[in-house]
Chains A and B, each alone.
Chain A
Amino acid sequence: MSTAEAALGAESAPVELRIESTSGKLRFNFRELWAYRELLGFLVWRDIQVRYKQTALGVFWAVLQPVLAMLVFTVFFGRLAQMPSDGIPYPVFSYTGLLPWQLFIYAVTQSGNSLVANQQLVKKVYFPRLLIPASAVLAGLVDFFIAFVILLGLMGFYGIVPTRAVVTLPLFLALAVGTALAVGFWLSALNVRYRDVRYTIPFLTQFWLFVTPIAYPSTLVPEKWRLLYGLNPMAGVVEGFRWALLGKQGPPDPLIFVSAAVVAVIGVGGLIYFRKMERTFADEV
């Protein structure tokens, strides 16, 4: 048809894309991920927009969930069971643990189901699939920041002033998000092939809650087992939050470093598994 236009195209020498089977190959295209950052922003924005649509309490839910949990914990574990709390008022102690925990379970639940929930997208349009679980995780941050305001209030009420360690808080938030992403990559990719994941997630998070030092201090775990305890990355996250915010004396607990290493391993493994499965998402979901 139009040869003039064709000449124009040749002039600008378009980039050539090669499409072939990547079976047996593993490639990460970080430049492409970067190119799609705007779409990631839109997906996060969508998840946030939609989250509290048509609810009576709206964004109040973001506060209600951790606050109610904190009250129950305070009454049953703090008062009745006389659970130690490292000398910190129990409500602040438990709420500081609940904050990253709520972020984590929300992010894991949403990202675990994200590929299946967005299967229309997966089947009809191309973009790096990693954006889907990632956006589900990042959308949870909004709730986190809202609930964080309550913590500031609680700390003010009990007269707790954070030490300089508070500047490390973003690192522990990053560790929490990293943990959620790492688990989310695994679960979302597994969920495409095995819908059992949907039923596994509630069980998994419940089980995980008990092995994470939210209602109790990690010092309850005998010294020789503490590094092993760090294999639960959320133990490191919660410990880190308390260390950064509540000004516990001394250097951070070494179990935090074990947790960070574990997150790195699960995360890299999750990325590799996700990439491997990504080739067949559209065919299998």
Chain B
Amino acid sequence: MSADWRIRTEGLGKRYRIGRPEPYRNFRDALVELAAAPLRRLRGKRPEPNWIWALKGVSLEVPAGQVLGVIGRNGAGKTTLLKILSRITEPTEGVARVRGRLGSLLEVGTGFHPELTGRENIFLNGAILGMRRSEIRKKFDPIVAFSGVEPFIDTPVKRYSSGMFVRLAFAVAAHLEPEILLVDEVLAVGDAAFQKKCLGKMEQVARSGRTVLFVSHNLGAVEHLCDRVAWMDGGRLRGLGDPTEMIGRYLEAVTDGSLESRGTGPFQVERVLLQNEAGETTTTFRPGEGLTLWIDYRVEGSHPAPYLWLSIGGRGGEIFSANMALDGNRPEVLTGSGRIGCRFPEVPLLPQSYHITLCVREADGRRALFEPQEVAAFHVIGALRDYGLKDEKADVRAAGSVPLLLPYEWILPNGRRAPVRLGSGGRPISTEAGR
């Protein structure tokens, strides 16, 4: 492709051993193994190593100044790719070449020490991320200003709220200015307002001509920020190209269940079904039509009272959600396999493309049984005139509008009331009044 590449990988692969029940070995096991190995060999039984390729045969090139998005299920190899490029772990095979000063952000706040003050942590964290002391000193004030924790800058960070902690951590990271930046899901932290600020900063970085590799489940952000998108599945590169096209292909595969990667947690999504009001399985809906999502799952172990969270998102981010952490509903227990559903009686969305993100957490919320990731995609299709939005250019304008349209009513100067509502239940509207 381009001669002026910044990152180039050739047949990159990483193999891990899996299925080791204990988290680490001890001397005794090692001794037993040492004694047993020759015996096994005598009997012709080689120890069966349980290998898994977290990454296999990945060849790609990122030209200078390009922002490459990497999407895919958890366990698809995205993070492994980043870890190899940032030299945290070595590839088993293949070569990666990187030209230029590289900075990686696999999480924010790496190396933060709770006992140290905000000021001290800025210096420590900056050094860990690869900044020079003089550079940190120069950027110190902008970092503090960006974080908004100025009054607490000389307080140990263990006294910070988690929000303050994340803001300070991100502020340091955001002022890292390498030629090549690797980012993994750092935007998935903090409250909505802060996330927006982060996205703004990411956009600034992306537009500054730096080379960026951006791993995210925020498909809206990926589509918005990236020049190209790499779609990974089962450790391999499934596609590389135009963001909209790649995201579309990925979501299609997500919905029809043809992905190899099943996610990494104990909760696994076997199949996802979307049904319309008539009970037909489909991925296209009419504006305002109701939608039911069915998830066939399989769970390892038994998990009492976990909570689920579903969010419907579009190009601009999340739009609305169904969240057991708010409504208080809980399945008594999740175990074995089963089916869980969620019905939205009315989905007042304009004709655009949407995706559904699922997250399952244990009762106390600490552990994710299923890390947030997209499980289905659907499209809303229909001529808006038929559904109550009568402007002649409505269809064109809807493509770029805020997608959610709640019922509303204009009260015009002459006192006339003009109710607006996407056709109830997705039924085309014929009378002027709506309902």
Contacts and interface: CB of A to CB of B under 8 A. Distances in A.
Nearest to B54: A283
A42 B67 contact: no
B102 A17 contact: yes
B115 A19 contact: no
B65 A1 contact: yes
A122 B84 CA distance: 13
B210 A19 contact: no
Interface string A50-82: 100110000000000000000000000000000
Given A21-B91, A283-B16, A39 B116 contact: no
A96 B265 CA distance: 56
A10 B110 contact: no
Contacts of B99: 9, 14-17
B4 interface: yes
Nearest to B9: A19
Contacts of A14: 6, 99-101, 179
A123 B80 CA distance: 11
B24 A195 contact: yes
Interface stretch (B128-136, B312-320, B364-372, B419-427): B128-136
A284 interface: yes
B222 to A, nearest CB: 15
Interface stretch (A124-132, A143-151, A258-266, A267-275): A124-132
A193 B25 contact: yes
Given A16-B99, A42-B124, A21 B92 contact: yes
B322 interface: no
A206 interface: no
A194 B127 contact: no
Interface string B106-135: 110011010110001001100111101100
A115 to B, nearest CB: 12
A220 interface: no
A123 to B, nearest CB: 7
Interface in A226-285: 279-280, 282-284
A38 interface: yes
A6 interface: yes
Contacts of B25: 193-194
Contact of A121 (B6, B16, B63, B128): B128
B127 A39 contact: yes
A111 B274 CA distance: 55
Given A6-B63, A14-B101, A19 B87 contact: yes
Contact of A20 (B65, B88, B94): B94
Contacts of B101: 14
Nearest to B103: A125
Contacts of A10: 4, 64
A19 B104 contact: no
Nearest to B123: A42
B26 A50 contact: no
B126 to A, nearest CB: 9
Query: How many of chain B's residues touch chain A, expressed as a range?
Result: 35 or more
Contacts of A19: 84-85, 87, 90-91, 95-98
B209 interface: yes
Interface in B43-79: 63-67
Contacts of B6: 9, 14
A26 interface: no
Interface centre among A16, A42, A122, A196 (most CB of B within 10 A): A42
B242 interface: no
B27 interface: yes
B242 to A, nearest CB: 14
Given A19-B97, A50-B116, A121-B128, A6 B64 contact: yes
B93 interface: yes
B35 interface: no
B70 to A, nearest CB: 17
A21 B95 CA distance: 8
B179 to A, nearest CB: 7
Contact of B4 (A9, A20, A193, A282): A9
Interface in A107-122: 120-122
B175 interface: no
Contacts of B129: 125
B89 interface: yes
Contacts of A193: 24-25
Interface of B: 4, 6, 16, 24-27, 30, 63-67, 83-102, 104, 106-107, 110-111, 113, 115-116, 120, 123-124, 127-130, 132-133, 156, 179, 206-210, 227
21 contacts: A1-B66, A1-B207, A2-B208, A3-B65, A5-B210, A6-B63, A6-B65, A10-B64, A18-B97, A21-B90, A21-B91, A38-B133, A39-B128, A46-B116, A46-B120, A53-B156, A126-B104, A194-B26, A194-B27, A196-B26, A283-B16
Given A49-B113, A49-B116, 19 more contacts: A1-B65, A2-B207, A3-B65, A9-B64, A19-B91, A20-B91, A20-B95, A20-B96, A22-B90, A38-B132, A42-B124, A46-B116, A53-B156, A121-B128, A193-B25, A194-B26, A280-B90, A282-B88, A284-B24
Pairs A-B, 6 closest by C-beta atoms:
A5-B209, A2-B209, A6-B64, A14-B100, A126-B87, A42-B127
